[in-house]
């Protein structure tokens, strides 16, 4: 969904990551204030849902170079300093409804280490307010099912972690020593891609 204006003039490159009306993928940016925020390089404008990135010119590459210095990304929303509740309301609630309407649904977090992916998905365990998307979505699924009396729904849960290109079954009750010997494998069949050997409740 990127639009690339003429960058030979050395001006801003813009990427429109926001959804066009019926588009199925929505992109949100979650930001939070930090003591060492790179204010000169990252500028976000919540009203327009734009984020501007300004890179510093690398002097070593000479005065005349075609190095890109400015990018603009348009999001579906910017969640600045948002609570876990607000993140769920904006990102999660609709996904639950669509899943129960019969569509596949995915929520994915992307960012560098320390950006807040685990905090967003799992949340902090110290208090209930800090719980993340996964516990909130699971609870919303059960609430919705209670309301949808005309629908018959079955729920199955798997919990897979991919870390350093290795798969870990987070619901496996087998002792760790056994997990390695019962290796999981990725298979593709007429139902799509799945993981053989992954626990499913």
Ligand X SMILES: Nc1ncnc2c1ncn2[C@@H]1O[C@H](COP(=O)(O)OP(=O)(O)O)[C@@H](O)[C@H]1O
Q: Which residues bind Mg ion (CB under 5 A)?
A: 117-118
Size of the site for ligand X (CB under 6 A): 10
80 binds ligand X (CB under 6 A): no
Of 149 and 162, nearer to Mg ion (C-beta) is: 162
Candidates 114, 120, 42; CA nearest to 79 is 120
d(CA 52, CA 71): 6
The DSSP secondary structure of 5-40, one letter per residue, reads --GGG---EEEE-S--TT-S---EEEE---TT--TT
Residues 121-140 that bind ligand X (CB under 6 A): 124
Residues 29-48 that bind ligand X (CB under 6 A): 32
Residues 6+ positions from 144 with CB-CB distance below 8 Å: 96, 97, 100
26 binds ligand X (CB under 6 A): no
d(CA 51, CA 49): 7
d(CA 74, CA 12): 13
CA-to-CA separations, 143 to 98, 125, 153, in angstroms, rounded: 14, 22, 12
Give the residue at shortest CB distance from ligand X. 116
114 binds ligand X (CB under 6 A): yes
116 binds ligand X (CB under 6 A): yes
CB of 81 to ligand X, least distance (A): 7
CA-to-CA separations, 117 to 31, 122, 200, in angstroms, rounded: 11, 8, 24
Selected binder of ligand X within 14, 52, 117, 159 (CB under 6 A): 117
CB of 163 to Mg ion, least distance (A): 9
Candidates 198, 112, 130; CA nearest to 121 is 130
- Applying CB under 6 A, the span of 15-23, 114-122, 144-152, 188-196 interacting with ligand X comes to 114-122
Of 114 and 192, nearer to ligand X (C-beta) is: 114
CB of 123 to ligand X, least distance (A): 8
Binding residues for ligand X (CB under 6 A):
32, 111, 113-119, 124
Residues of the binding site: 111-118
């Amino acid at each position: 969904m990127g639009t690339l204006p003429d960058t030979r003039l050395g001006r801003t490159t813009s990427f429109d990551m926001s959804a066009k009306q019926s588009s199925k993928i929505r992109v949100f940016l979650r930001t939070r204030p930090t003591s060492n925020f790179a204010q000169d390089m990252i500028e976000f404008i919540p009203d327009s849902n734009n984020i501007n990135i300004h890179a510093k010119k690398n002097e070593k590459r000479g005065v005349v170079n075609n190095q890109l210095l400015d990018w603009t990304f348009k999001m579906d929303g910017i969640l600045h300093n948002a609570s876990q509740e607000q993140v769920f309301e904006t990102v999660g609630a609709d996904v639950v409804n669509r899943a129960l309407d019969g569509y596949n649904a995915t929520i994915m977090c992307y960012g560098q280490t320390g950006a807040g992916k685990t905090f967003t998905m799992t949340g902090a365990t110290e208090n209930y307010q800090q719980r993340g998307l996964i516990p909130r979505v699971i609870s919303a699924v059960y609430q919705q099912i209670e309301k949808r009396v005309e629908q018959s729904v079955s729920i199955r849960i798997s919990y897979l972690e991919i870390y350093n290109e290795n798969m870990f079954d987070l619901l496996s009750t087998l002792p760790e020593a056994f997990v390695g010997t019962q290796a999981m494998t990725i298979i593709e069949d007429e139902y799509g891609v799945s993981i053989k050997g992954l626990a499913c409740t």
